[in-house]
């Protein structure tokens, strides 16, 4: 499990593979100077239902991975996550589609 830390105040754990895909999408949008919301469902043990943050190029983000290897990325999932990030609702977790053949 890796972690995404937002503005040194919000830390959330994601599987390294999920985190690697999120990082690709988030960094691509922030490099273009785009701000957008990111919403995820929290684990039940945290006592919260979901969390939303506003991502912008001016806010510090840290991606920390448990494993030392870069997970294999699925371009179809990056595309689906990017489509979500570009929607009015912003980035949300979408199911991983099958990788292209």
Write down the pTM of the prediction: 0.90
Arithmetic mean of pLDDT, 48-61: 91
What pLDDT is stored for residue 44 in this prediction? 56
Strands 36-41, 2-6: pairing kind: unpaired
Helix, strand, or coil (residue 91): strand
Task: State yes or no: pLDDT of 70 exceeds 90.
Answer: no
What pLDDT is stored for residue 43 in this prediction? 66
At 5-42, the pLDDT tens digits run 999 889 999 999 999 999 999 999 999 999 999 999 87
Of 17, 44, 29, the residue nearest 85 (C-alpha): 29
Arithmetic mean of pLDDT, 54-75: 93
Helix, strand, or coil (residue 54): strand
Arithmetic mean of pLDDT, 42-49: 66
The domain segmentation of the chain, as residue ranges, is 2-92
């Amino acid at each position: 499990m890796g972690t995404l830390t937002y503005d040194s105040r919000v830390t959330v754990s994601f599987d390294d593979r999920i985190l690697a895909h999120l990082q690709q999408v988030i960094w691509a949008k922030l490099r273009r100077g785009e701000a957008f919301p990111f919403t995820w469902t929290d684990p039940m043990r945290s006592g919260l239902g979901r969390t939303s943050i506003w991502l912008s190029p001016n806010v510090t983000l840290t991606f920390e991975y448990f494993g030392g290897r870069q997970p294999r990325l699925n371009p179809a999932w990056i595309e689906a996550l990017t489509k979500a990030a570009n929607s009015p609702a912003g980035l949300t977790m979408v199911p991983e589609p099958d990788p292209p053949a």
